Every structure is written in structure tokens, then in C-alpha cells.
Amino acid sequence: MSNYVFLGPPGAGKGTMGAMLCTAYGNIHVSTGDILRAELKAGSALGNQAKQCMEGGGLVSDDLVAALVRKRLSQTDIAASGFLLDGFPRTVPQAEVLATMLAEIGLSLDGVVLIEVAEDLLVKRLVGRRLCPTCGAIYNIFFAPPTHADRCDTCDVALTARKDDNLETVRNRLAVYWEQTAPLIGHYEAQRLLARVNGSGEKNANFSALQATLHL
């Protein structure tokens, strides 16, 4: 079983491609954004701690996120199925913690995939993103709108937008990516783990490119 990290700016499609890869090959999708949003929704102490950073588009502390990842990667299903880390690591210190953590658990990384997308497309993908609160379906008002404005095609409930998908927060998230996360590209290139995939196309074409890159 293989273990991957997906790297790329917000809106690159890490979640979408991650879900496709996990459905096809059985890896376990570990998204730190999803874990943090679940904590926020549950109103846990951890969620409250992360709330302000998340809503402003900044990063939650390395220690907090690393503890969540360590807990998930230590569970027995991970070694059996392989993992796909989506949204972690996001800083060089997080990558260093990950390397130590994996060595302690007895796992290793098989590849880091950088999903590359032009910046103007990223903004449209994020600002236009809408979610069905019932079934989780993802729409985009520019590229994949629902049949009836702002309602889920399947559930007929009103679609919602993520709180951090407004233009101001999106700009901040992109700035944070270039400042704090992009240095990971060189970090993993130096370890010969990095592979680049074009994520600008339609999702099935992007996924085929990913499969080819990873020789799947």
C-alpha cells in the first residue's frame, strides 16, 4: 500500500482528486481541513481554538494540527490501506514533524504530488464553490452550477458556501500558501519525492494525469 501527500494551493483540487484516488485504490483520505471543520462544527475545545485562524484564512498552530495527524496515522487501518494526506504538511516544520512521526509509526512516504493550477482559476473555483449540507455534493456557480439556482440537484436543499471561500479570505489563503506552504516544493524536490500534475483541466482528465504520474 502506498502513502502520499497532496500539495498545492487552495482550490487546486486536492480534496476532489484525493477522494477519487481513495475510491479507486482504497487509501485512507486524511484531510486536516475536514478534521478541523468537524471539530468546529462539534464545538469542541480544539475547534474553538482553531476557529479564528480558519475563518481568517490563516494557519492553525503546527502543534495542534500535528497532534491530530499523529492520532489518525497511528490507527491500524492506515498501515493496511495506505494514506493520502490532504492539507498536511503546510509548513516546513510540519513536514519535519511528519517525517519523525512516520519513522516512529514505521511508515514512509511514497510520493508527494504537487497539483498545479493557474491563480485566476483557483480564485474562481474557491469563490464559486457551493456545497450541499445534506449529501456533500460539490457545485461551482461558474463551472458546475446546479440545475436550479443555489439548490442541490439530488436533495433539493439550499446550497451553502464555506465561510473561508469569500474573496477576501481566499486572497489571504493564497498569500499564506505562497509564503508558508510553497517552500515545501523545494523541500520535497530535494528528497526526490515530488511529482507535478496539471490540475487545470476537467476532473477526469486531471485524475488520468495523476494516475499516469504515479504509475497507477
Reported as half-sphere exposure (CB side, CA atoms, 13 A), residue 14 has a value of 27
88 binds ligand AMP per the rule CB under 6 A: yes
Give 133 or 212: the residue with its C-beta nearer to ligand AMP: 133
Among this protein's residues, is 196 annotated catalytic? no
Q: Which stretch binds ligand AMP (CB under 6 A): 17-25, 32-40, 142-150, 196-204?
A: 32-40
Of 8, 9, 18, 87, the one binding ligand AMP (CB under 6 A) is 87
- Smallest distance, ligand AMP to C-beta of residue 173, A: 5
Among this protein's residues, is 14 annotated catalytic? yes
Of 162, 163, 154, 173, which Cα lies nearest the Cα of 8?
Answer: 173
Of 27, 32, 159, 199, the one binding ligand AMP (CB under 6 A) is 32
Of 85, 30, 97, 28, which Cα lies nearest the Cα of 61?
Answer: 97
Q: Of 51, 70, 151, 162, which is the active-site residue?
A: 162
Asked if residue 48 lies in contact with residue 105, where contact means CB atoms within 8 angstroms, the answer is: no
82 binds ligand AMP per the rule CB under 6 A: no
Site for ligand AMP in 117-156 (CB under 6 A): none
29 binds ligand AMP per the rule CB under 6 A: no
- Cell numbers for 40: 468546529
Distance CA 174, CA 76 (A): 35
**Main-chain dihedrals φ then ψ at residue 19, nearest 5 degrees:** -65, -40
Distance CA 13, CA 117 (A): 9
| Partners of 74 in beta bridges | none
60 binds ligand AMP per the rule CB under 6 A: yes
Among this protein's residues, is 51 annotated catalytic? no
Site for ligand AMP in 90-119 (CB under 6 A): 90, 94
- Cell numbers for 150: 443555489
Give contact residues for ligand AMP (rule: CB under 6 A): 10, 32-33, 36, 53-54, 57-60, 65, 87-88, 90, 94, 164, 173
